[in-house]
Structure 1
Amino acid sequence: MSENDDADAVLLFLGGPLDGRVEVREARHGAPLPTVTHTHLHDGPKVVHHYDLHPLTDGAGVYHLRVEPVPEPADAESV
């Protein structure tokens, strides 16, 4: 996506809590951000998701949920 566009951008979110959301970013706000962070607050701990932009055309792009590596559990010591 070009930073000098005078047209609005249509952005689709895939994965996570924003899955299926479509947003239109008005050109006056500038080019879409390369990464969007979504923080979900609820009764438990806050959950943070990161979405990375994958441009499709000058006026459209898809934010894909960033898949964080899952930490492996520590091996239990055998006695």
Structure 2
Amino acid sequence: MLLYVGGPLDGRVEIRPARHGEPLPTVTHVHLHGGPKVVHRYDLQTLADGAGVYTVRPRADQHARDESVAD
């Protein structure tokens, strides 16, 4: 059983049959709509008894300002 925490998949539960193998370490969710595409990445944290939690990865601030540079 896999649980998603955060982002657009928050609260989703996936029952994964063993025949599908091990879950991926990272899952990418792409949301397409009328505006720009929105990408969320979920990282797996494995728990006991074949369970795991996918937690949304914090988005990197693409417009971060380098504070070490003087104006």
Check whether TM > 0.5: yes
After superposition, give the CA deviation of every residue in 1:15-51 in whole Å (9 maximum; x if it has no partner): 0000000001111110000000000011101101000
Q: 2:58 aligns with which of 67, 70, 78?
A: 67
Larger strand fraction of residues? 1
Provide the TM-score with structure 1 as the length reference. Answer: 0.76
Name the counterpart of 1:27. Answer: 18
| RMSD, aligned CA | 1.8
Q: Does 1:39 align with 2:30?
A: yes
Letter in 1 for 2:14: E
Aligned positions, number = 67
Q: Which runs of 5+ in 2 are unaligned?
A: none
Percent identity of the aligned residues?
Answer: 65
Letter in 2 for 1:72: A
Name the counterpart of 2:47. Answer: 56
Return the index of the structure with the highest Cα Rg.
Answer: 1
Q: Which runs of 5+ in 1 are unaligned?
A: 1-9
